[in-house]
A and B are shown apart, each in its own frame.
Chain A
């Protein structure tokens, strides 16, 4: 519970800082009477902060769900090809039907994410059982192969700038009111995971145990896939991929409070939000007034934390 309190307490000042800091200066004393400043805060600063919180929370929860359905602690949507699948879907619809409405793009991106995750699950079923660390390795290579495909198509179609953001270096600098609301869908999907938290916890025990406890294994698997794909696709469509959140936050939370998902999922969500908020602030401040993509910051921080997890923990599933 202490962890939950600490994270919750950290979230408030981080959010405030996120609203206060920006390239344009805002005179807070006269915010009510200055329409310009009011506009900056309501159209840019607050939406950005909300977008960061939603992204962090949803990705962290998606990470937990993924780890439960794969039954492996070292995976997350960004390292098994899910994000690349979403990017591939988004690219396909952008190239083939540039005029498609946003909901259609969103749908195709989700389908792409779903397909990539399904391929990953089919692949790891063929792995020799006890090789725990082969699972993330296969995921990373699959992601790399898909990424090569996306980059190539992006290059050929002059969409490389978008592709770069979608794949690795997600950033929140483009977030304004009206252009981030899809993230609420991601948050809703993550909330759905919380309602099914017990089922996912049982799923983590394995197919036999789950069936023994009377759980419809396939149905819960499908629900998990849906949550992971929708969250990833919404994030990729709105702000681009933000790596490693779904990996490091659930691992650290599980270390402290175990795998009782009903209790831990809210903490995971809070932790994810706090982590991405902190990284986004760092990304904005390190080269002020310019920004570094938050995906790059998390690429550094996340991989360092991943290495620490990898070498500290015994290799359990």
Chain B
């Protein structure tokens, strides 16, 4: 195992232990159970976002993008709302959590492959236009989701709150096992494809010349991204810029384009930032919900900085 990846794993392990045990009081059984649930959620979300971002950056040949910047999260929120709107009469919303999630993920994977396959294919020449299109699509999806929600339930106001930003501390316990399972499968699949991802990162002409089935690989990667984004959005809500920080750190730490190292590094870094951040904000500063906002803020500024430096690829 690579030394840097091993070191990251150790850091994550130590952070997780600290998160579980820090200031644990008399009622330790109960507290430990509560914290273990939260910890598992953060690890799943961190790994999902980290791996999804690396995958998306490879498939889009662009180091400043995250799936969320291009509207993936918004697409999931829209599909979630649309499925309830369309299938509400058949009791879709009443289905067991796992079945409902599986249906959402399946639809999401198909929609993402169709939409972003098209966008990435057409956008290759003009990167700025492609990104802008993604951003506007995100606004469109969010507006449509808001519209549908209002039409279904005119008095609903809770939408704004749920859509506004993520919270890493209120993770849906019933969904967690399903989401964790889906994330584990997707991460494993990505890891198995890592040598092919290395080739895909060389760009289409070279990759095709080396015998990669480029189009099939693009769709497979987009499907994995869709699964991972569904997992993180379903668990904590939309997270736009966090992946950018994770992938930036992973690239500078690993300093190699090998996905066999990048993917585990990104998964570990994603988890570590969330666990350490939550530890600091929850236990040290006493702020429950601040982490996601701070992460988004820093990530957004990082994105602006990248744009201003002209690093659009």
Contacts and interface: CB of A to CB of B under 8 A. Distances in A.
A112 B43 CA distance: 39
A134 B64 CA distance: 13
B104 to A, nearest CB: 22
Interface string A274-316: 0000000000001100111100110110011011001100010
B192 to A, nearest CB: 34
A151 B307 CA distance: 24
A5 interface: no
Contact of B143 (A127, A136, A164, A296): A296
B165 A152 contact: yes
Contact of A141 (B126, B140, B293, B300): B300
A303 B136 CA distance: 6
B308 A74 contact: no
Contacts of A28: none
B174 interface: no
A299 B143 contact: yes
Interface stretch (A11-19, A29-37, A88-96, A142-150): A142-150
Contacts of B300: 141, 144-145, 148
A126 interface: yes
Interface in B111-141: 126, 128-129, 131-133, 135-137, 139-140
B74 to A, nearest CB: 11
Interface residues of A, number: 46
B150 A151 contact: no
Contacts, number: 122
A148 B128 contact: no
Contacts of B289: 155
A141 B212 CA distance: 35
A293 B303 CA distance: 31
A251 interface: no
Given A133-B129, A160-B161, A169-B146, A144 B151 contact: no
Contacts of A144: 240, 300
Chain A binding surface, main DSSP class: helix
A138 B307 contact: yes
A145 B304 contact: yes
B96 interface: no
B157 interface: yes
Nearest to A161: B157
Given A127-B308, A133-B129, A136-B132, A151 B165 contact: yes
A303 B146 contact: no
Contacts of B133: 307, 310-311
Nearest to A244: B139
B297 interface: yes
Among B136, B147, B157, B304, the most chain A Cβ lie within 10 Å of the Cβ of: B136
A299 B160 CA distance: 14
8 residue pairs, one from A and one from B, having the closest CB atoms: A299-B143, A290-B154, A133-B128, A164-B160, A145-B300, A303-B140, A152-B293, A128-B310
12 contacts: A74-B132, A134-B128, A137-B131, A138-B307, A141-B303, A141-B304, A155-B161, A160-B164, A161-B160, A296-B150, A299-B142, A300-B144
Interface of A: 74, 123, 126-128, 131-134, 136-138, 140-142, 144-145, 148-149, 151-152, 155, 160-161, 163-164, 168-169, 243, 286-287, 290-293, 296-297, 299-300, 303-304, 306-307, 310-311, 315
